[in-house]
Chain A
Amino acid sequence: MARKLPPKDVVIVGLGWTGAILAHELTEAGLDVVAIERGPWRDTATDFNIGYAPDELRYSVRRDLFLQPAQETLTMRNTSSQTALPMRDFGSFLPGTGVGGAGTHWNGHTWRFFPSDFNLKSHLTERYGAARIADLTIEDWGLSYDELESSYDRFEYLAGISGKAGNIQGKLQDGGNPFEGVRQREYPLPAMQMSYAPTLFAEGARSIGFHPFPTPSANLSKAYVNPLGIAMGQCTACGFCERFGCANYSKASAHTTILPVLMRKPNFEARCNSEVLHVNLDATRKMAKSVTYVDASGEEWEQPADLVLLCAYGLHNARLMMLSGIGKVYDPSTGEGTVGRNYCYQTNAGVQLFFDDKNFNPFIASGALGQTVDDFNGDAFDHGSVDFVGGAGINCIPTNGRPIGYRPVPPGTPRWGSAWKKATAENYLSVLGFSSQGSSYATRGNYLDLDPTYTDRFGRPLMRMTFDFPDNDIRMSHWVSDRMEEIGKALKPRQMVSSRRQKSWNSVPYQSTHNTGGAIMGTDPKKSAVNRYLQSWDVPNVFVIGASAFPQNAGKNPTGTVGALAFWAADAIRDKYLRNPGALVSA
């Protein structure tokens, strides 16, 4: 029997990027906020100690910072005709946990989506006709890029994003991304100092008429003090970025940009090692009254609050809604229901170039130190003559040379023995890799719901993921691989190896932790789970903040947009909801 605690103004489920942003904004507004996080407290000096942070086995292979499947996992299948089975170990994507969440150990690519991404359905219909997107369930967000621009700016300045603007107030800027949406001002910090591989890649891309630019990076190019007064350091290109916490305060995360100020507020409390089981609704089923959670000793508690914010990561947001009866679970056979629909992912492919005469020092790297070509991303180019919509960013961001995972050898090389060893030693320093990160567009058959068989340690059904790459996305990816091979050829390697994306989606090899959708925002309550302020259509005192809100995914990392949406939602809560609690958008 859960014991009831004294009420708080706001309960936030999860204390990662979105939880920390919302907690900061709402405590500034004077509210009494508790964040309930099922993972542990983490901090830089203890958990990312410079002496043991650079440990590939521990953090990259055994994944000490990540969510353990024993605590929560999902079942997966490619299509509804298969039986979903549990991902007994995570592979293709690796959810985070703990204070700071996956934002602790991300790479730091920080993007704004294109303006056309926000009203993608209208835009593509207008440009190419409805038939072109007939087998996709693309939706408009209900929010425009222009409306979100200032929130993007706030996130970038909070985090110290290091980059070169391409379009300031309508004027194109040399060295930046000519395809980006209009921004009001430059990035807070200049682009990172480039290492050899991205420099060479950029030369090759430029030589065939593409427009490379420095990837906007949350690994800081210089020391910085953010608007909260929090100081951050300069990235030292240690090569232990993704999967690792940063030892020297130079990667933007909740730890380095918000928590020092947030944790000292008397009106904020963080409760760690405490897992929220579900949100409790009142008898009308239209108001949340509390959350129930289990603490580290196994005791159950009920935490009442006036406002419940789901900030638990996109996938877990969707699951919590399903477990709590917030919104109706999507059923692809009827097309009804909103929670779980429009689940999307990322469509990636890669190219490796083997050289004889070059030393790329792959270990001198950081998560977002690189160059990007956006010429073939989203709707940046005319799709008139091709048979797909969407596109991919082409990224040369060699993040590491950690040898358990990174020891490229030409195809056909044995996997062991002296021949293996020789090829490994010969090629380790001299391979240049780059990849495409492609859009992932929604279909009827890609969705999330609750598994009928498998449960977690509390007996709650696991979430079931039904996903495969749509044919449209495969065609897109292959076309972009053709462009990548053009760049590769321009660099005249000894050998080029092109790894193309094929169906079906395999849950085993790592691809990307960009799971989007499942609680999408929109203008139609029948097709979206939250409105344009990320407020649940069904339960107005629940907001659901994360990439769960994306109706489809662009060819860009989600975090920049997730951070912007967090600020956007915070503003709506503070300026609209608190003044007049209730539905902010009439259904």
Chain B
Amino acid sequence: MSTDSAFTATRRHFLTSAAAISLVTVSTHVRAQSISGVLPWQPFAAEPPTPIGPQGWVFFTPAEAAAVEAIVDRLIPADDLSVGGKEAGCAVFIDRQLAGSYGSSSRLYMKGPFLPGLPTQGYQGKETPAARYREGLAAIDAYLRKTMNGRSFVHLNADEQDQFLKTMEAGKVDLGGGINATRLFDLILGNTMEGFFADPIYGGNRDMVSWKMIGFPGARYDYRDHISKHNQRYPLGPVSIAGGRPEWSR
């Protein structure tokens, strides 16, 4: 029975291992390369999502952040159904995503040559989401300053903002720099929706606001009591990964 770096957790191993483990983020998972004769396991081994971190912006400049907050607040406006995208934290979500592997396309195939593709061949650009936001927000800002009397997106009123977003969506605005306006709009819209509906641990969907709005119970795992209750409302509120729900605390 041999292992390279995997080990079973016997009472003694607990005692002799250097098990100084941070609660929050550290992965102490067994990533053994060669495993034989044992089903590996380690105490405290867990890989919860990385928490959002302190307030502030990690990727966006203050001006970019302000613009994105204003955009998400039109994509998801505050109304009687829910708070707006800004208050829900969608811009914070996008900021953190762009600072991570999503923003840098580190999981994608980014080898050249980069050639224009057919619609069936998907995105073939060299630009990562981080680059596309940086470039795109600058282009939007330049465009608006040129066409809206020197005003940026944050200075427009709600109707003007909606109007601009619609023309972007329709591809009827030339942002220059070879930017496809529709694609850029779709990118921002997609990330905004991700932020609005993802678990709050990622910075958006504050207080599970979107889940409460639609009736999605969140990170639950046992619905056996309700499967056969056809056409009946599910009675319990949503649960988030990190915070659970208010009923967990006295």
Q: Is A129 an interface residue (CB 8 A)?
A: no
Q: A55-B219, A193-B227, A418-B77 in contact; A403/B34 too (CB < 8 A)?
A: no
Q: Contact: B35 with A55, CB < 8 Å?
A: no
Size of B's binding interface in residues, CB under 8 A: 81
A265, chain B: closest CB distance, angstroms: 7
Q: What is the predominant secondary structure among interface residues of chain A facing chain B?
A: loop
Q: Which of the four size classes fits the interface of chain A?
A: 35 or more
Q: Is A70 an interface residue (CB 8 A)?
A: yes
Q: Is A507 an interface residue (CB 8 A)?
A: yes
A-B residue pairs in contact (CB < 8 Å), sample of 19: A47-B29, A51-B241, A52-B219, A61-B198, A69-B107, A69-B108, A70-B109, A88-B109, A88-B123, A89-B109, A236-B222, A247-B221, A263-B37, A263-B40, A295-B33, A359-B231, A364-B234, A415-B169, A425-B81
Q: Contact: B31 with A263, CB < 8 Å?
A: no
Q: Is A273 an interface residue (CB 8 A)?
A: yes
Chain B residues within 8 Å of A266, by CB: 1, 36-37
Q: Contact: B49 with A77, CB < 8 Å?
A: no
Interface string of A58-71 (1 = CB under 8 A from B): 10011000001110
Chain A residues within 8 Å of B106, by CB: 70
Q: Is B120 an interface residue (CB 8 A)?
A: yes
Q: Which of A38-46, A276-284, A435-443, A487-495 contacts the other chain?
A: A38-46
Q: Contact: B214 with A424, CB < 8 Å?
A: yes
Q: Contact: B122 with A239, CB < 8 Å?
A: no
From A417, which residue of chain B is reached at the shortest CB distance? B77
Q: Is B102 an interface residue (CB 8 A)?
A: yes
Q: Is A50 an interface residue (CB 8 A)?
A: yes
Chain A residues within 8 Å of B221, by CB: 50, 53-54, 236, 238, 240, 247-248
Chain B residues within 8 Å of A83, by CB: 115
Q: A50-B221, A195-B227, A196-B231 in contact; A41/B213 too (CB < 8 A)?
A: no
Chain B residues within 8 Å of A86, by CB: 109, 111, 124
Interface string of B92-109 (1 = CB under 8 A from A): 000000000110011111
Q: Contact: B220 with A54, CB < 8 Å?
A: yes
A555, chain B: closest CB distance, angstroms: 23
Q: Contact: A41 with B32, CB < 8 Å?
A: yes
Q: Contact: B111 with A263, CB < 8 Å?
A: no
Q: Contact: B40 with A41, CB < 8 Å?
A: yes
B200, chain A: closest CB distance, angstroms: 11
A404, chain B: closest CB distance, angstroms: 5
- Identify which of A57, A248, A264, A364 contacts B39 (C-beta below 8 A): A264
- Identify which of A259, A363, A418 contacts B216 (C-beta below 8 A): A363
A453 to B109: give the CA distance in the assembly, Å. Answer: 14
Chain A residues within 8 Å of B222, by CB: 236, 238
Q: Is B189 an interface residue (CB 8 A)?
A: yes
Q: Is B131 an interface residue (CB 8 A)?
A: no
A417 to B72: give the CA distance in the assembly, Å. Answer: 10
Q: Which of B15-71 contact A (CB under 8 A)?
A: 29-42, 45-49
A52 to B219: give the CA distance in the assembly, Å. Answer: 8
Interface hub of A41, A195, A238, A416 (most chain B Cβ within 10 A): A416
B243, chain A: closest CB distance, angstroms: 11
Q: Contact: A403 with B211, CB < 8 Å?
A: yes
A73 to B123: give the CA distance in the assembly, Å. Answer: 14
Work out how many contacts link A and B, with CB atoms closer than 8 A.
Answer: 237
Q: A45-B45, A266-B36, A428-B214 in contact; A57/B111 too (CB < 8 A)?
A: no
B208, chain A: closest CB distance, angstroms: 11
A46 to B38: give the CA distance in the assembly, Å. Answer: 16
Q: A78-B120, A404-B197 in contact; A263/B39 too (CB < 8 A)?
A: yes
A96 to B14: give the CA distance in the assembly, Å. Answer: 34
From A72, which residue of chain B is reached at the shortest CB distance? B109
A76 to B76: give the CA distance in the assembly, Å. Answer: 36
From A416, which residue of chain B is reached at the shortest CB distance? B75
Q: Which of A236-267 contact B (CB under 8 A)?
A: 236-240, 247-248, 259-260, 263-266
A418 to B47: give the CA distance in the assembly, Å. Answer: 37
A116 to B93: give the CA distance in the assembly, Å. Answer: 52
From B44, which residue of chain A is reached at the shortest CB distance? A46
Q: A238-B223, A266-B36, A506-B119 in contact; A403/B216 too (CB < 8 A)?
A: yes
A11 to B178: give the CA distance in the assembly, Å. Answer: 50
Lowest 8 CB-CB distances: which A-B pairs, in order?
Answer: A196-B230, A57-B198, A54-B219, A403-B197, A269-B36, A69-B109, A428-B214, A68-B107
Chain A residues within 8 Å of B147, by CB: none
Q: Is A85 an interface residue (CB 8 A)?
A: yes
A266 to B173: give the CA distance in the assembly, Å. Answer: 66
A56 to B193: give the CA distance in the assembly, Å. Answer: 12
- Identify which of A58, A82, A199, A429 contacts B49 (C-beta below 8 A): A58
A230, chain B: closest CB distance, angstroms: 11
From A269, which residue of chain B is reached at the shortest CB distance? B36
- Identify which of A73, A85, A296, A418 contacts B79 (C-beta below 8 A): A418
A486 to B220: give the CA distance in the assembly, Å. Answer: 35
Chain A residues within 8 Å of B36, by CB: 263, 266, 268-270
Q: Contact: B213 with A425, CB < 8 Å?
A: yes
Q: Contact: B109 with A272, CB < 8 Å?
A: no
A431, chain B: closest CB distance, angstroms: 12
Q: Contact: B241 with A54, CB < 8 Å?
A: yes
A50 to B219: give the CA distance in the assembly, Å. Answer: 9
A454 to B113: give the CA distance in the assembly, Å. Answer: 8
Q: Is A150 an interface residue (CB 8 A)?
A: no
Q: Which of B183-242 contact A (CB under 8 A)?
A: 189, 192-194, 197-199, 202, 210-211, 213-224, 226-228, 230-234, 241
Q: Contact: B224 with A88, CB < 8 Å?
A: no
- Identify which of A73, A240, A364, A403 contacts B226 (C-beta below 8 A): A364
Q: Which of A73-108 contact B (CB under 8 A)?
A: 73, 76-78, 82-83, 85-89, 91
